[in-house]
Amino acid sequence: MTALLEVDDLRVEFRTRDGVARVLNGVSYHVAAGETLAVLGESGSGKSVTAQAVMGILDTPPAHVTGGSVRFKGEELLDAAPERRRLVRGEGIAMVFQDALSALNPVFTVGFQIEEQLRLRRGMSRKDARARAVELLDQVKIPHARQRVREYPHQFSGGMRQRAMIAMSLALDPEVLIADEPTTALDVTVQAQIMDLLAELQRDRGMAMVLITHDLGVVAEVADRIAVMYAGRIVEHADARSLFRAPGHPYTSALMRSLPHVEAKGSELSTISGLPPSLLAIPPGCPFHPRCPRARDVCSVDVPPQVPLPGGRDSACHFAEQEVSGA
């Protein structure tokens, strides 16, 4: 399939008083129409920074894009003029932020915030923009949309705010939707509803979706492919079924083992020893080697290449083939 969004060797650093934090260290992925790519990893691995760099909304300073490429339908975005980036943002690529309460403006009604972009970008009248806002709220299954369009964000529950955020992101009919941990701070039932809603909207619209999450359960349900991030780098990329069946990187294997299982009730949960590395001082070699139970001498010296594995997958591990085989 032809990729709508292509990220290639993306590098971002944060220049701070304490030093230079290498936040992204050569991130590459792609996603095609109708496909869901899940970007998985612990907090601080660079998932959200990658999304913000794609959208062109990183705060500079301290953030600086130092290399790589971001292409939408073959067009390079990193070198594009600010006006062009603004046009792509929303119409080509849209983003659902993880904290809807912070992302929505508290002093304007939810309807106004949806209508504003329709009037500015589509030239709609106030009446037509209001009708479209009601329609969008109805599409994301907010009850009594005609009344609720006049309400403020604080009058919505957490789940309803997230639905309103999704409605805003879909207002300009984007071809790529980036959902940054869209179920954060929601209870399990509402999480399932939001994920079902995103899947339904994606099917209806044929969108590509990049789902940023640390929830392996969510990933198993919706992802076509998975990119696993650690310390600003994608350490494994595979289709969802292959990755869950046989992870190709020790970090992915450790994440899988840390999942709670019903049959293991009463036993201790498996954990990953140690902490993720400081991005101000990423260790030499494989950044995961201080926490890796399979680490050998070479792991602390040489940065592992992306090792190709059967089925079009790859893993940034010196011993990826042994990891897949369980040797």
Span 141-170, pLDDT tens digits: 999 999 999 999 999 999 999 999 999 999
Instruction: Give the mean pLDDT of 75-87.
Output: 96
Q: How confident is the model at residue 136 (pLDDT cuts 50, 70, 90)?
A: very high
Whether residue 266 is predicted with pLDDT greater than 80 in this model: the reply is no
Instruction: Please report whether residue 71 resides in a domain.
Output: no
Q: Angle 110-122/158-170 helices, nearest 10 degrees? A: 10
Alpha-carbon dihedral 80, 81, 86, 89, rounded to 10 degrees:
0
Q: Output 98 or 124, whichever has higher pLDDT.
A: 124
* 90, amino acid identity: G
> What are the pLDDT digits (tens) for 3-49?
999 999 999 999 999 999 999 999 999 999 999 999 999 999 999 99
| Cα 179 to Cα 273: distance, rounded to the nearest angstrom | 29
Reduced to 3 states, what is the DSSP secondary structure of residue 21? strand
Which residue range forms the structural domain that includes residue 294? 248-261+271-327
Residue 122: C-alpha distances to residues 9, 55, 77, 300 (Å): 34, 20, 22, 54
pLDDT greater than 90 at residue 178: yes
Mean pLDDT along residues 176-193 = 88
Position 2 in a domain? no
Taking CA atoms, 132 is separated from 39, 59, 105, in Å, by: 32, 32, 19
- Residues 305-314: what's their mean pLDDT? 92
Q: How confident is the model at residue 327 (pLDDT cuts 50, 70, 90)?
A: low
281 lies in some domain: yes
| CA distance linking residue 103 with residue 106, whole number of Å | 9
**Does the residue 311 lie in any domain?**
yes
Q: Is 165 exposed, middle or buried (0-12, 13-18, 19+ CB in 10 A)?
A: buried
For the chain, give the percent of residues with pLDDT over 90.
Answer: 83
Distance, CA of 286 to CA of 280 (rounded, Å)? 15
Give me the percent of the chain exceeding a pLDDT of 70. 99
- Average pLDDT for residues 274-282, to the nearest whole number? 93
Tally of domains within the chain? 1
Residue scoring higher pLDDT (135 or 183): 135
Assigned domain for 317 exists: yes
Confidence at residue 45, expressed as pLDDT on a 0 to 100 scale: 94
User: Domain for residue 60, yes or no?
Assistant: no
Q: Is the pLDDT reported for residue 94 higher than 90?
A: yes
Q: What is the mean pLDDT of the chain?
A: 93
Instruction: Give the pLDDT of residue 189.
Output: 86
DSSP 300: G
Top pLDDT among 98 and 24 is at 24
> In this model, does residue 193 exceed pLDDT 80?
yes
- In 145-264, DSSP assigns E strands to 176-180, 208-213, 225-230, 233-239
pTM over the 0.85 mark: yes
User: pLDDT tens for residues 228-264?
Assistant: 999 999 999 999 999 999 999 999 999 998 887 777 6
The yes-or-no verdict on residue 118 having pLDDT over 90 is: yes
Residue 297: is its pLDDT beyond 80?
Answer: yes
Residue 59 in any domain: the answer is no
Tell whether 241 is covered by a domain: no
DSSP 44-113: TSSHHHHHHHHHT---TTTEEEEEEEEEETTEE-TTS-HHHHHHHHHHTEEEE-S-HHHHS-TTS-HHHH
Residue 325's pLDDT band, with cuts at 50, 70 and 90, is confident
69 dihedral zone (left: phi>0; alpha: psi -120 to 50; beta): beta
